Amino acid sequence: MTGAVIGAIVAFLASRPTLKRYEQTESGLKNELDIKNGQLIDLNRQVAESRTQCRALEERIAIMQQTYEREELRRKEEETTRIQQQQVAFKNLANDILEEKSRQFKQTNSESLEQLLKPFRENLESFRKRVDEVYDNEAQQRFSLKEEIRRLNEANLRMSEEANNLTQALKGNSKVQGDWGEMILDTILGGSHLIKGIHYFTQENLKDEAGNNLRPDVILNLPGGKQIVIDSKVSLTDYVAYTESTTAEDASKAIKNHLRSVRSHINELGSKRYQTLVNSPDFVIMFIPNEPAFLLALQQEPGLWNEAYDKKVIVSSPTNLFALLKLVDDLWKRDSQNKNAIAIATEGANLYDKLVGFTETLTDLGRSITKTGEKYEQAINQLKTGRGNLIRRANKLKDLLNATKSMPAKFADYEDTESSQLSPDPTAVTTPPIDKTTE
């Protein structure tokens, strides 16, 4: 019995190193399992964030597509109605004028009509060409709007990809981050079809009330003389720390630092009050060039945008800013179209004035023709009617002189109102007829 107990004790002591190795192996496996579980949780969180961002982008694209389609349909209907009304009105006006003046046109010869109608024809052709040019320009602009929406989607994806690729290179260097933000802003401006030096200016020097020099990144011009200041502010370091965090504590700390950085930029930009130094609405635009960083700040602090707006600062991402710039580009196009419409109206007024002058000339011509006819009839009557009229006296001379030629038939029906006629004196010497062959 004692021997069996001793044997069991010896066997137990012999197995203790093996049990310790098993315990160490199990502990290592548990630690590795905990690390893998943490990595899996982090990957799931990143996938959820990416899906949220994709859904937000898809919703924005769908809204913009619907807005474009409604606007396109409305423009086509308005354009078709306007053109039809103009064509009917112009056709009616031309018909009325031509019908009213057709009788007077027949009284003039073709050469005179050609000279009179030439200015009218030239003005009419110029007016038609101008209307056709404006219509073609509007059609091209409507087609280009659809292309711009497609480019917007491509540009947004490209910029997001570029931003993620540059994240590591920009991390921790504020000067490089600032230059990168200005580069992204310049790229968006270049893709908006706005013209540098006309529609916007970069790095313009401004002076505040104290005489300090200020240089906003961009001053955007609007139709009507208004301007909007756009300044790029990069908050990237803490966002990168958030994306690289491995624990919830690190992620929460990075988010707080990211929000603190964004608020600092808002306060800094709001204190400069750029809008008071230019002819601007009462706000400036703070451009955050990294779309995910912008979305993270608004998701974690939904009231951040209103907080910035209260300080006269509008926070904008690349997508929002590009949409704003396309709206400004469309405003400039509409401003150009309005100027073209004014030019067309001016041309139409000039054309109408020319037409009025033309009709007045035709009216004066008709009066002159009528007056000339009256004078002609008066002259004929003076030759043919009344006592001692010239035709009667001439015929008396013809009888006395034995002339051989006679008056035209038009003058044969003259009045002969004298009761007595001259008769030749029988004692007078009769003048022989003149022999014109001997002259």
77: which 2 tokens?
């209907």
Predicted local confidence at residue 433, as pLDDT: 45
For the chain, report the end-to-end CA distance as a whole number of angstroms: 195
Q: What six digits make up the tokens of 361? A: 């000339």
What number is the average pLDDT over the span 288-305?
86
Render pLDDT for 342-398 as a digit per residue (tens, 0 to 9).
878 887 788 777 778 778 887 888 888 888 888 877 777 777 676 667 777 777 777
Beta bridge partners of 220: 200, 228
Please write the tens of the pLDDT for every residue from 69-101: 888 888 888 888 877 776 677 666 666 666 666
pLDDT score of 425: 47
Which of the pair, 90 or 423, is modelled with greater confidence? 90
Beta bridge pairs of residue 284: 313
The structure tokens 């800013």 sit at 321
Tell me: the pLDDT tens digits for 97-128?
A: 666 666 665 665 566 656 666 676 677 677 77
- Counting Cβ atoms within 10 Å, is residue 284 exposed (0-12), middle (13-18) or buried (19+)? buried
Predicted local confidence at residue 105, as pLDDT: 57
Average pLDDT, the chain: 77
Cβ 202 vs Cβ 186: under 8 Å: yes
Mean pLDDT of 207-221: 82
- Per-residue model confidence (pLDDT) at position 116: 62
pLDDT recorded at residue 431:
43
What's the per-residue H, E or C state across the chain? CHHHHHHHHHHHHHHHHHHHHHHHHHHHHHHHHHHHHHHHHHHHHHHHHHHHHHHHHHHHHHHHHHHHHHHHHHHHHHHHHHHHHHHHHHHHHHHHHHHHHHHHHCCCCHHHHHHHHHHHHHHHHHHHHHHHHHHHHHHHHHHHHHHHHHHHHHHHHHHHHHHHHHHHHHCCCHHHHHHHHHHHHHHHHHCCCCCECCCEEECCCEECCCCCEECCCEEEECCCCCEEEEEECCCCHHHHHHHHCCCHHHHHHHHHHHHHHHHHHHHHHHHHCHHHCCCCCCCEEEECCCHHHHHHHHHHCCCHHHHHHHCCEEEECHHHHHHHHHHHHHHHHHHHHHHHHHHHHHHHHHHHHHHHHHHHHHHHHHHHHHHHHHHHHHHHHHHHCCCCCHHHHHHHHHHHHCCCCCCCHHHCCCCCCCCCCCCCCCCCCCCCCCCCCCC
Whether 304 has a pLDDT exceeding 70, the answer reads: yes
Q: Cα dihedral angle (96, 102, 104, 106), rounded to 10 degrees? A: 170
What's the whole-number mean pLDDT along residues 276-296?
85
Q: Which two tokens stand for residue 113?
A: 């009509």
In the predicted structure, residue 172 carries a pLDDT above the cut 60: no
Q: Is residue 241 over pLDDT 70?
A: yes
Helices 318-384 and 390-401, interaxial angle, to 10°? 50
pLDDT at position 178 over 50: yes
Q: Distance between CA atoms of 242 and 265, rounded to whole angstroms?
A: 19
